[in-house]
Protein backbone atom coordinates (compact mmCIF):
# COMPACT_ATOMS: atom_id res chain seq x y z
CA UNK A 1 0.00 0.00 0.00
CA UNK A 2 1.25 3.51 -0.82
CA UNK A 3 2.02 5.76 2.13
CA UNK A 4 0.10 8.94 2.90
CA UNK A 5 1.27 12.28 1.55
CA UNK A 6 3.37 14.13 4.11
CA UNK A 7 2.44 17.80 4.53
CA UNK A 8 5.68 19.38 5.74
CA UNK A 9 6.36 22.60 7.64
CA UNK A 10 7.83 25.11 5.20
CA UNK A 11 9.18 28.55 6.12
CA UNK A 12 7.71 31.37 4.00
CA UNK A 13 9.56 34.35 5.46
CA UNK A 14 10.44 35.74 8.90
CA UNK A 15 6.76 36.11 9.83
CA UNK A 16 4.93 33.27 8.04
CA UNK A 17 5.17 29.50 7.70
CA UNK A 18 3.22 26.70 6.04
CA UNK A 19 2.11 23.68 8.06
CA UNK A 20 -0.66 21.03 8.21
CA UNK A 21 -4.12 21.88 9.57
CA UNK A 22 -4.78 21.27 13.27
CA UNK A 23 -7.64 21.69 15.74
CA UNK A 24 -6.44 25.19 16.65
CA UNK A 25 -7.50 26.28 13.15
CA UNK A 26 -11.24 26.17 13.91
CA UNK A 27 -11.41 29.99 14.24
CA UNK A 28 -9.91 30.23 10.73
CA UNK A 29 -12.55 27.84 9.34
CA UNK A 30 -15.25 29.84 11.13
CA UNK A 31 -14.07 33.12 9.61
CA UNK A 32 -13.79 31.58 6.14
CA UNK A 33 -17.33 30.22 6.50
CA UNK A 34 -18.61 33.79 6.81
CA UNK A 35 -16.89 34.88 3.56
CA UNK A 36 -19.23 35.42 0.62
CA UNK A 37 -17.05 33.49 -1.86
CA UNK A 38 -14.86 30.90 -0.06
CA UNK A 39 -17.68 28.41 0.75
CA UNK A 40 -18.76 28.50 -2.93
CA UNK A 41 -15.41 27.18 -4.19
CA UNK A 42 -14.29 24.99 -1.27
CA UNK A 43 -15.80 22.55 1.22
CA UNK A 44 -15.68 25.18 4.00
CA UNK A 45 -19.06 24.69 5.75
CA UNK A 46 -21.57 27.50 5.60
CA UNK A 47 -23.34 28.07 7.89
CA UNK A 48 -20.57 27.18 10.33
CA UNK A 49 -21.11 24.81 13.26
CA UNK A 50 -18.46 23.34 15.55
CA UNK A 51 -19.16 19.82 14.26
CA UNK A 52 -18.97 20.93 10.62
CA UNK A 53 -15.72 22.74 11.39
CA UNK A 54 -14.22 19.59 12.92
CA UNK A 55 -15.43 17.57 9.91
CA UNK A 56 -13.69 20.08 7.60
CA UNK A 57 -10.42 19.55 9.48
CA UNK A 58 -10.85 15.77 9.25
CA UNK A 59 -11.31 16.09 5.47
CA UNK A 60 -7.98 17.91 5.18
CA UNK A 61 -6.22 15.10 7.03
CA UNK A 62 -7.99 12.54 4.86
CA UNK A 63 -6.81 14.24 1.68
CA UNK A 64 -3.20 13.65 2.69
CA UNK A 65 -3.96 10.11 3.93
CA UNK A 66 -5.71 9.21 0.66
CA UNK A 67 -3.02 10.91 -1.42
CA UNK A 68 -5.50 13.38 -2.92
CA UNK A 69 -3.32 16.36 -2.10
CA UNK A 70 -1.31 18.53 0.25
CA UNK A 71 -3.51 20.93 2.24
CA UNK A 72 -1.40 23.64 3.93
CA UNK A 73 -2.29 26.35 6.40
CA UNK A 74 -0.32 29.57 6.17
CA UNK A 75 0.23 30.71 9.74
CA UNK A 76 2.04 33.39 11.68
CA UNK A 77 5.37 32.23 13.10
CA UNK A 78 4.64 34.18 16.28
CA UNK A 79 1.60 32.53 17.90
CA UNK A 80 0.80 30.05 15.09
CA UNK A 81 -2.48 31.80 14.11
CA UNK A 82 -3.78 30.36 10.84
CA UNK A 83 -4.40 33.07 8.23
CA UNK A 84 -5.39 31.08 5.18
CA UNK A 85 -4.63 28.05 3.09
CA UNK A 86 -2.86 26.81 -0.01
CA UNK A 87 -3.69 23.37 -1.40
CA UNK A 88 -1.58 21.43 -3.89
CA UNK A 89 -3.64 18.85 -5.76
CA UNK A 90 -1.71 16.39 -7.98
CA UNK A 91 -3.52 15.32 -11.14
CA UNK A 92 -4.93 11.81 -10.75
CA UNK A 93 -3.56 10.52 -14.04
CA UNK A 94 -0.68 12.82 -15.03
CA UNK A 95 2.12 12.58 -12.48
CA UNK A 96 3.88 15.73 -13.73
CA UNK A 97 0.93 18.07 -13.23
CA UNK A 98 -0.78 19.55 -10.17
CA UNK A 99 -3.39 22.23 -9.49
CA UNK A 100 -3.38 24.80 -6.70
CA UNK A 101 -6.06 26.61 -4.73
CA UNK A 102 -5.81 29.26 -2.01
CA UNK A 103 -7.74 31.62 0.22
CA UNK A 104 -6.95 34.04 3.03
CA UNK A 105 -9.31 35.02 5.85
CA UNK A 106 -10.73 38.53 5.44
CA UNK A 107 -8.97 39.80 8.58
CA UNK A 108 -5.55 38.80 7.18
CA UNK A 109 -5.89 40.20 3.65
CA UNK A 110 -4.08 43.18 2.21
CA UNK A 111 -0.49 42.16 2.94
CA UNK A 112 0.25 39.66 0.17
CA UNK A 113 -0.03 36.55 2.33
CA UNK A 114 -1.42 34.39 -0.50
CA UNK A 115 1.32 35.27 -3.03
CA UNK A 116 4.09 34.62 -0.49
CA UNK A 117 2.57 31.28 0.55
CA UNK A 118 1.84 30.27 -3.04
CA UNK A 119 5.43 31.03 -4.12
CA UNK A 120 6.75 28.82 -1.32
CA UNK A 121 4.44 25.88 -2.11
CA UNK A 122 5.25 26.16 -5.83
CA UNK A 123 9.01 26.13 -5.26
CA UNK A 124 8.62 23.07 -3.06
CA UNK A 125 6.34 21.33 -5.59
CA UNK A 126 8.70 22.02 -8.52
CA UNK A 127 12.06 21.59 -6.82
CA UNK A 128 11.39 18.90 -4.19
CA UNK A 129 8.40 16.95 -5.54
CA UNK A 130 9.45 17.23 -9.17
CA UNK A 131 6.20 18.48 -10.72
CA UNK A 132 6.67 19.92 -14.20
CA UNK A 133 3.49 21.95 -14.56
CA UNK A 134 1.42 23.75 -11.92
CA UNK A 135 -1.95 25.25 -12.80
CA UNK A 136 -4.70 27.30 -11.23
CA UNK A 137 -8.03 28.82 -12.25
CA UNK A 138 -9.41 32.26 -11.41
CA UNK A 139 -12.71 33.97 -12.20
CA UNK A 140 -12.17 37.09 -14.36
CA UNK A 141 -13.64 39.46 -11.73
CA UNK A 142 -11.23 38.22 -9.05
CA UNK A 143 -8.46 40.82 -9.38
CA UNK A 144 -6.87 39.97 -6.02
CA UNK A 145 -6.47 36.33 -7.06
CA UNK A 146 -5.26 37.21 -10.57
CA UNK A 147 -2.59 39.44 -9.05
CA UNK A 148 -1.67 36.74 -6.54
CA UNK A 149 -1.14 34.23 -9.37
CA UNK A 150 1.10 36.58 -11.36
CA UNK A 151 3.04 37.61 -8.25
CA UNK A 152 3.73 33.90 -7.61
CA UNK A 153 5.19 33.47 -11.09
CA UNK A 154 2.16 32.16 -12.99
CA UNK A 155 1.44 33.09 -16.61
CA UNK A 156 -2.03 33.64 -18.02
CA UNK A 157 -2.93 31.06 -20.66
CA UNK A 158 -6.50 31.72 -21.69
CA UNK A 159 -10.17 31.71 -20.78
CA UNK A 160 -12.07 28.49 -20.21
CA UNK A 161 -15.72 29.23 -20.88
CA UNK A 162 -18.25 27.81 -18.38
CA UNK A 163 -15.37 25.84 -16.84
CA UNK A 164 -16.71 25.30 -13.35
CA UNK A 165 -19.94 25.36 -11.38
CA UNK A 166 -19.77 28.04 -8.69
CA UNK A 167 -22.80 28.62 -6.51
CA UNK A 168 -24.93 26.57 -8.89
CA UNK A 169 -24.00 28.35 -12.14
CA UNK A 170 -21.33 27.68 -14.76
CA UNK A 171 -18.60 30.30 -14.55
CA UNK A 172 -15.77 31.23 -16.92
CA UNK A 173 -12.29 30.68 -15.50
CA UNK A 174 -8.95 32.21 -16.46
CA UNK A 175 -6.25 29.54 -16.63
CA UNK A 176 -2.73 30.21 -15.30
CA UNK A 177 0.32 27.97 -15.25
CA UNK A 178 3.83 27.90 -13.87
CA UNK A 179 6.31 25.44 -15.39
CA UNK A 180 9.48 23.95 -13.95
CA UNK A 181 11.23 25.40 -17.00
CA UNK A 182 10.04 28.97 -16.30
CA UNK A 183 12.91 31.18 -15.20
CA UNK A 184 13.13 30.95 -11.41
CA UNK A 185 14.84 34.32 -11.03
CA UNK A 186 11.72 36.16 -12.25
CA UNK A 187 9.60 34.90 -9.37
CA UNK A 188 11.66 33.99 -6.31
Ligand X SMILES: CC(C)(COP(=O)(O)OP(=O)(O)OC[C@H]1O[C@@H](n2cnc3c(N)ncnc32)[C@H](O)[C@@H]1OP(=O)(O)O)[C@@H](O)C(=O)NCCC(=O)NCCS
Distance CA 69, CA 61 (A): 10
Q: How far is the CB of 28 from ligand X (least distance, A)?
A: 12
DSSP 94-138: -TTEEEEEEEE-GGG-SS-HHHHHHHHHHHIIIIIS--SEEEEEE
Residue of the chain from 113, 125, 126, 134 that contacts ligand X (CB under 6 A): 113
**For ligand X, the closer CB: 41 or 179:** 41
Residue 22 contacts ligand X per CB under 6 A: no
Applying CB under 6 A, the site for ligand X has a residue count of 20
CB nearer ligand X, residue 50 or residue 141: 141
C-alpha–C-alpha distance, residues 166 and 139, integer Å: 10
Q: Which is nearer to ligand X, 57 or 105 (CB)?
A: 105
Residue 17 within binding range of ligand X, rule CB under 6 A: no
- At 84 the three-state DSSP class reads strand
Whole-angstrom distance, CA of residue 150 vs CA of residue 22:
30
Given 143, 155, 164, 165, the residue binding ligand X (CB under 6 A) = 143
- What are the CA-CA distances from residue 156 to residues 14, 141, 145, 185 (Å)? 30, 14, 12, 18
Our finding on whether 144 is near ligand X (CB under 6 A) is yes
**Of 5, 70, 102, 154, which one interacts with ligand X (CB under 6 A)?**
102
Binding site for ligand X (CB under 6 A): 37-38, 41, 102-104, 109-115, 138, 142-145, 147-148
Amino acid sequence: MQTAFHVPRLPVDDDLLLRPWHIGDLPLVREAAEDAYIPLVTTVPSPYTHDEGVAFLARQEERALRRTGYPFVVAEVAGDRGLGTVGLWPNATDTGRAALGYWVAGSARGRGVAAAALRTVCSWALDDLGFERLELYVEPWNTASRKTAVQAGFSYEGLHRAWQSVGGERRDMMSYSRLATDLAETVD
